[in-house]
Amino acid sequence: MLCWICGNTAGTGEHKLKASDMRSEFGSVSQKNPLYYNSKLHKNVRINSIKKSSIIKSNALICENCNTSRTSQDDRAWEAMSEYLRSGRVCLKRGSTINLQKVFPGKTKSRMLNVHLYFVKQFGCVIKEFGIPIEINNFSDAILNRTPHPKVFISFGASNGILTGSTDVEIASLNGKCAFATWFYVVGNVAINIMYSNENLKRQGLINSWHPSTVTKQIKLATYI
Ligand SMILES: [Zn+2]
């Protein structure tokens, strides 16, 4: 299989939920302290290792270079933001704000582009794995060129803390094309809503959403239950 990002020979699957997010929620996972994975297709699949288990990795393979050096700064930016959001320094309630200057002092714009590209990578893996009818080339171009995907928006919010994982992607089509797609990436009581919008209509979900083109240092939180 070829890497969906750069076209080279691929051999690795991206963690569906970042390994650091899983470790911070579940602690160390081992044969003595296993984790159980559930989805529509899989029930109670035992996980003995976050690093090695294949069930928690995407089937959409990418190459070693894209999985490590090309996107490592994006991974690190999300890791830092994820830690910040769950550290108690943000009141996780609808209408609360995240002050991005406190998350990434002096580097707000570049680090938030990294966060955006982290979710562009995650979204691309989901599109590829499940054959979702959204043009994948715009996702790989964004990562290769280090530029924002113009149609991918993110909102940040609070969850009820019950689920850690990602949801299915819900799609709304118009004239046979995907007009809007939405899914959630959830770590404990923090939820990220990742959206694709191929239209100019003001979707409810896009209110308070964030995009790298948005000139703001404050992001308003939503509530997802
Ligand atoms: Zn690659």
CA 34 to ligand 1 center in whole angstroms: 31
Whole-number Å distance between alpha carbons of 223 and 155: 10
CA 68 to ligand 1 center in whole angstroms: 10
The reported pLDDT for the residue numbered 1 is: 87
CA 125 to ligand 1 center in whole angstroms: 12
pLDDT tens for the chain, 225 residues long, are 899 999 999 988 888 888 898 888 888 889 998 988 888 888 888 989 988 888 888 889 999 999 989 999 999 999 999 999 999 888 888 888 999 999 999 999 999 999 999 999 999 999 999 999 999 999 999 999 999 999 999 999 988 888 899 999 999 988 888 899 999 999 998 999 999 998 765 677 787 789 999 878 889 888 775
Grouping H, G, I as helix, E, B as strand and the rest as coil, residue 72 is helix
CA 142 to ligand 1 center in whole angstroms: 13
CA 90 to ligand 1 center in whole angstroms: 35
CA 222 to ligand 1 center in whole angstroms: 34
Grouping H, G, I as helix, E, B as strand and the rest as coil, residue 156 is strand
CA 8 to ligand 1 center in whole angstroms: 5
The reported pLDDT for the residue numbered 127 is: 95
CA 135 to ligand 1 center in whole angstroms: 17
| Residue in the block written with tokens 């570049």 | 110
CA 11 to ligand 1 center in whole angstroms: 9
Q: Which bin fits 222, alpha (ψ -120 to 50), beta or left (φ > 0)?
A: beta
CA 144 to ligand 1 center in whole angstroms: 9
State the pTM of this model.
0.92
Write the DSSP assignment of 182-211 as a string of letters: EEEEEETTEEEEEEEE-SSS--GGGTT-B-
CA 148 to ligand 1 center in whole angstroms: 18
Domain coordinates of the chain in residue numbers? 71-223
Instruction: List, in sequence order, every beta strand (DSSP E) within 26-151.
Output: 35-37, 45-47, 57-62, 97-99
CA 2 to ligand 1 center in whole angstroms: 8
The reported pLDDT for the residue numbered 140 is: 98
